[in-house]
Structure 1
Amino acid sequence: MISLRSICQAWFKPFLISGIKPKGKPVHGSICSLQFHHNHRPMHSSQCARQLATNSTEESLLKRKYVPRRTLMYIPGHDEKKLRKIPNLGVDCAVLECEDGVALTKKAEARENIRKILDELDFGTTDCAVRVNSMDSGLTEEDLQVIFQADKLPQTVLLPKVDTVDDIIEFTTMFKNVTKDKNGYCPYLIVYIETAIGLLNMRNILQQAKDFSAYGIYQLDGVVFGSDDLCADIGASRSTAGTELMYARQQVLLTAKAFRLQAIDMVHIDIKDLDGLLLQSEEGARFGFTGKQIIHPNQIAIVRDAFTPSKSKIDWAIELIQAFEKHQESGEGAFTFHGNMIDMPLLLQAKNIVQMSERTEQAV
């Protein structure tokens, strides 16, 4: 039988090894009796960590600005010429790429280029992000050690191919050690779900990353659906309709939204098929994705427009909300709008549209 002590030790092991200290005042005692003051009632260590993470996440959602990532574009780190074009692209999130878009023989060059570009380039309102190599590649630590020598650090860090909770624990320990002298640095973290095992473990992965976010190392902010790696992992053939990915695509979306995270949809790999890109982008936006990965400048405008509520849609949402508030004040019965009966889900949808519009405008 697994003892309570062993459970507590397993939970706190990453914090003890890496020197991560929770923000709070511990009550003295053994590791299993470690408690924090909360409404004058003691809590077990696991309850305490969950409560601290929940409170911190709620506060950070209110305090930190919303960063739109309607368009998330990869720029290979070994190509300095392309990197220097970023400020003129008009993309929401520019990903300085060390992973799939860079050949193994070009990894070292990519790291140095990215470190230099971070210090030299003014990214303006673009979310400057860096995608390191996955934990199973054995290259992650070297990526971090070189790139994070820069004086100006990326606003967002992307971690690909997260398959297990151990991947998050090991990355967090590694990341904290590399950035320990970067006082006050707390980037956004976006993780990738790209395999069958990653999909099955996604809930636990996000919970662990959310818990770690409470310690000011990073702020978990989104999930990317890695469709092509998933197809390869399960042996599926990629089709234009994408029906072979529908379950996984929806599962990534639902789980991300359950954790109040951004959900970034799959890449449309045929860069010449702009009609197909439009259809897929509009579909993703209808599903509830907040943005989409892109690989070519020609895809930017189509994707950005698809994930931006139209003026007519925003006007409809504002008018509906105002009408509902007026109806509430009147105390009348059923609420109708433009001749249609309105229920709570539709009202919530209207509020989401207005919120997205406001946050996008604030971030620009």
Structure 2
Amino acid sequence: MLKFVRHMHAQAAVPRRALLYVPGNDRRKILKATTLNADCICLDIEDGVSVTAKDVARETISDVLNSATSFAGSEVAVRVNAVSSGMAKKDIACILGGKSPPSAMVVPKVDTLDEAKWLADELKRYEGARGMQLITQVESAQGLLNLNIICNFLSEKLEDINANLAAVIFGSDDFCASIGATRSASGEELLYARQKVVTVAKAYKAQAIDMVHIDFKDMQGFIKYSMQGAAMGFTGKQVIHPSQVAPAHQAFAPSEQRVSWATELIEAFNKHQQEGKGAFVFQGQMIDKPSLLQAQNIKSIADAIVRREL
């Protein structure tokens, strides 16, 4: 029987460029997802599943996890229902109580410190939570304001079970509803929230996963927002359709030119350091420590992607 290999801390830097949601009650779509090369396949019990199909989703996901299903190198996560829904306890028991729990769990709508505390206490009850990567979603004004204290608490408490806060997802549509905003083509109404999610996530060494593009036929818009998100510091994007996987991979991977620039800059920096020199000129630009850090970030992401694809 296949045992899912957990992504431990040394591998946590592998970016989830495409986090693909799949309804947990649809076995056909789950099996299809295993062929799509998504970095993370997220089996959903929450918004993608109707209330009447929740039990079917739990049973189907549990069966898939405990079977010999191969996900072809993709990370497997399960999105449970929100703590405030009253259904999370049953979801967690079903998913973590089985023989082969997923390597990651996505918890939506984490709005308060009390919800984070409940979640941490609940996870401690299951051996299957040990070593797990937790991914939380911020989807409201309250959740955004509390994001720092939530991430701080979870980062500390998850160490008790050798788990870690791996990523923070921005849920844009629920957030817009929360603040009464209207979605626009420019997306300017979400600029502050997106920047805050990236900043807080990175402060806790977690990945930041950008908003869904719900019009899956609008590939031009998807690419535009993906490239914008990558430039803002997001490490990946939520994906709801197979056609979005490849463009997400491309948008959130450094180009060959950027990797070449970073590699050459690092080599030049090391050479100048050995010669006892400080700042220096590289390709017409004055280079110092901040430039080196940017280059190292690019090289680290590129190397992580290569490891994932080997």
Q: TM-score surpassing 0.5?
A: yes
Report the alpha carbon displacement of residue 171 of structure 1 after superposing the two structures with TM: 1.3
TM-score (norm 2): 0.93
1:121-159 Cα offsets, whole Å, 9 max, x none, are 112310100000000100001112223343111000011
2:241 partner amino acid: H
Q: Superposed, which structure 2 residues align to 1:149-228 within 5 Å?
A: 149-177=97-125, 179-180=126-127, 182=128, 185-216=130-161, 218-228=163-173
Report the alpha carbon displacement of residue 119 of structure 1 after superposing the two structures with TM: 1.8
2:103/2:132 contact within 8 Å kept: yes
1:176/1:217 contact within 8 Å kept: no
Residues in 1 aligned to 2:60 and 2:42: alpha-carbon distance in whole angstroms: 13
1:8-64 Cα offsets, whole Å, 9 max, x none, are xxxxxxxxxxxxxxxxxxxxxxxxxxxxxxxxxxxxxxxxxxxxxxxxxxxx74x45
Please name the residue that 2:90 is paired with. Answer: 142
1:194-230 Cα offsets, whole Å, 9 max, x none, are 1101111111000110111220152111100011100
Please name the residue that 2:197 is paired with. Answer: 252
Percentage of matched positions with identical amino acids: 45
Aligned-partner SS, 1:95: strand
**Is 1:350 the counterpart of 2:295 in the alignment?**
yes
Report the alpha carbon displacement of residue 330 of structure 1 after superposing the two structures with TM: 2.1
1:65/1:363 contact within 8 Å kept: no
Please name the residue that 1:115 is paired with. Answer: 62
Report the alpha carbon displacement of residue 333 of structure 1 after superposing the two structures with TM: 5.5
2:158 partner amino acid: S
Aligned-partner SS, 2:215: coil
Q: CA RMSD in A?
A: 1.5
One of 31, 47, 56 as aligned partner of 1:100: 47
**Is 1:360 the counterpart of 2:305 in the alignment?**
yes
Residues in 1 aligned to 2:79 and 2:14: alpha-carbon distance in whole angstroms: 17
Gaps of 5+ in 2: 1-7
Please name the residue that 2:3 is paired with. Answer: none
Please name the residue that 1:131 is paired with. Answer: 79
Report the alpha carbon displacement of residue 288 of structure 1 after superposing the two structures with TM: 0.7
1:70-112 Cα offsets, whole Å, 9 max, x none, are 0001000111110111220110000000001111011011100
1:157/1:187 contact within 8 Å kept: yes
Aligned-partner SS, 1:122: coil
Aligned length: 301
Query: Which protein, 1 or 2, shows the higher relative CO under an 8 Å CA cutoff with sep ≥ 6?
Result: 2
Over 3 Å counting, the alpha-carbon distance change for 1:150 and 1:342 in structure 2 is: same
One of 19, 23, 29 as aligned partner of 1:72: 19
Over 3 Å counting, the alpha-carbon distance change for 1:247 and 1:333 in structure 2 is: closer
Over 3 Å counting, the alpha-carbon distance change for 1:160 and 1:336 in structure 2 is: same
1:167 partner amino acid: E
2:71 partner amino acid: F
Of structures 1 and 2, the larger Rg is shown by: 1
Residues in 2 aligned to 1:248 and 1:173: alpha-carbon distance in whole angstroms: 28
2:279/2:288 contact within 8 Å kept: no
Residues in 1 aligned to 2:289 and 2:11: alpha-carbon distance in whole angstroms: 28
1:115 partner amino acid: S
Aligned-partner SS, 1:94: strand
